[in-house]
Structure 1
Amino acid sequence: MTFTAMVAQPPPMPDDPGGRGEDFGKSSPVGLLVLLVFLVAVVFLARSMSKHLKRVPASFDEEPAGKHEAPDGDEEPAAEEKPQEQKNGA
């Protein structure tokens, strides 16, 4: 005696390929509004960053030897400093 089981599956729906409904891939006006708000925020952040970067000095080394103010307010010339020699790795 042999038993055979038949399992029935519904045929795939051609109107709904891969579980995508009719609204798949569409955006709403709210999405456009959010996108525009993000764009405006990025523009303001970039402007602010460029203003701050313009204030950054070209080098963070100490100020060059020049005139130093004495405690009483008179300016005195600084002692001459020899330029530092860079040592090669060899």
Structure 2
Amino acid sequence: MLTAAQVLAENNFGDTRTGGLAGPMGLFLILVLGTATVLLIRNMNARLRRLPDRFPAQGLPAEAGRADAGVTDPTDGTGAVDSSSDSPNARQQHRNG
């Protein structure tokens, strides 16, 4: 008969020495990830060095580049914005608030 201590002390995981590939595989993955990180950092630094020190100012007039030049912005500070519309967001805010 097995006692409780013998049942708890029994190794149910098999022999841990056979097929010991976890250590070398872990080292390989760490080396691959480290190499990839170093190469990515070098590539990013090379791209940043190629950027100009200052970008030229945008030479477009204020309204020439806008496709929606005729649409006025309700949040431009000229008047209050009415938030009591019947949009789903307003209903959700009233229901949740």
Please tell me the TM-score bracket, short chain as reference.
Answer: 0.3 to 0.5
Query: TM-score, normalising length from structure 1?
Result: 0.40
* Larger CA Rg, structure 1 vs 2: 1
- Choose between structure 1 and 2: higher strand proportion: 1
- Choose between structure 1 and 2: higher helix proportion: 2
Higher RCO (C-alpha 8 Å, min separation 6) = 1
